[in-house]
Amino acid sequence: MELKTICQSIEILAQEVGQFVRQERLKITNDDIELKGKASLVTYVDKNAEEMIVSALRKLLPEAGFITEEGTASASGEQLKWVIDPLDGTTNFIHGIFPHSVSIALIDGEEPVAGVVYEIGQDELFLAWKGGGAWLNGQAISVSKTEKHEDTLLATGFPYYNFDMLGNYLKLLEFFMIETRGMRRMGSAAVDLTYVACGRFDGFFEHALHAWDVAAGIIILKEAGGKVSDFKGGDDFLFGKEIVASNKNYFPAFFQKVNEFLG
Ligand code: 2AM
Ligand code: CA
């Protein structure tokens, strides 16, 4: 099946699941919130949304395996795998704020080749497939052209379970606070990457993320002309729990600082 055709199917699916999440947001109560770990929240909405996605994708591409946040399906050596975060930004969702998103990617080996991020608050559907460009609600998107720290607005996510790098992380924030237009901490890594892809943000970095937080955003960012690496300049950004992403012009200056403090 062609990647473009796959994308058309997952676009519709992400919007349907987004509609479910939107309806449930007004219904959830404290009793619906479970703790997966300290500060790691989940609700029946995450789980039901994932089940909806998995059952639709099993029919779409029976040969593909699954890597999913809520673990309702698994992989066993398949070349093609779906990497799914049914609700990225669960903490935002629970607290009644945006953004939060549905993120679905298809990876070939370890390379994302198609992805959709549907941001529920602003009804924005980002999608990309390898060689097909990146799109927001049907319009082609591309990264910004900024080069210098002083012209950039950056995004990050605060560490929430692995605090080993906190000291250096705070020093890096201090540098960016002083040298850039500012930092934003949105709470959905998938959305952060798509906002870099469409030029709203100039760069994004975060550590301790999982593959499902970033897989779809990575292909969208790359197809929009962006650049992505791990903190050492390598390619281990999908499963390696470190990601630095920006437009191509700004990447050398941005990466140099992230690498200096966190690499
Ligand atoms: P999640 O909502 O799907 O879990 C933001 O920093 C990123 O980290 C999001 O992509 C979010 O994905 C993930 N994350 C997981 N647990 C988190 C938590 N307790 N606080 C903040 N972000 C969390
Ligand atoms: Ca999630």
Residue-wise pLDDT for 135-164, tens only, equals 999 999 999 999 999 999 999 999 888 898
Number of other CB atoms surrounding residue 146 within 10 Å:
21
Q: Does 90 contact ligand 1 (Cβ within 6 A)? A: yes
Atom of ligand 1 nearest to the CA of 214: 10
Q: Does 194 contact ligand 1 (Cβ within 6 A)? A: no
Q: What is the pLDDT of residues 221-242, one digit of tens each?
A: 999 999 999 999 999 999 999 9
Give the type of residue at 218. Answer: I
173 and 60 in a common domain: no
CATH number for the domain that contains residue 21: 3.30.540.10
User: With contact defined as beta carbons under 8 Å apart, do 34 and 124 qualify?
Assistant: no
Rg, the chain, Cα only:
17
255 and 194 in a common domain: yes
| Cα of 178 from ligand 2 centre, angstroms | 32
Place of tokens 């924030």: 173
Question: Which tokens sit at 68?
Answer: 């999913």
Cα separation, 85 vs 63, in Å, equals 20
Environment of ion ligand 2 (residues, CB < 5 A): 69, 85, 87, 90
Q: Among the bound ligands, name the one nearest to the CA of residue 49.
A: 2
Question: Which tokens sit at 108?
Answer: 């070939």
93 and 41 in a common domain: yes
Place of tokens 């676009």: 11
Q: What is the pLDDT of residue 162?
A: 87
Atom of ligand 1 nearest to the CA of 93: 2
Atom of ligand 1 nearest to the CA of 87: 3
pLDDT interval class at 83 (50, 70, 90): very high
170 and 135 in a common domain: no
User: With contact defined as beta carbons under 8 Å apart, do 263 and 235 qualify?
Assistant: no
Question: Which tokens sit at 166?
Answer: 């906190």
How many independent structural domains does the chain possess?
Answer: 2
Q: What percent of the chain has pLDDT over 70?
A: 100
Question: Which tokens sit at 250?
Answer: 């700004």
Helices 166-179, 251-262: crossing angle, 10 deg rounding: 150
Whether 16 has a pLDDT exceeding 90, the answer reads yes
The HSE-up count of residue 17 (CA atoms within 13 Å, CB side) is 34
Cα separation, 229 vs 73, in Å, equals 28
**What's the whole-model pTM score?**
0.97
Question: Which tokens sit at 172?
Answer: 């890096």
CA angle 226, 3, 80 (to 5 degrees): 90
Whether 64 has a pLDDT exceeding 90, the answer reads yes
Question: What average pLDDT does the structure give for the chain?
Answer: 97
132 and 9 in a common domain: yes
CATH number for the domain that contains residue 195: 3.40.190.80
Give the type of residue at 29. Answer: T
Q: Does 217 contact ligand 1 (Cβ within 6 A)? A: no
Structural domain harbouring 63: 3-140
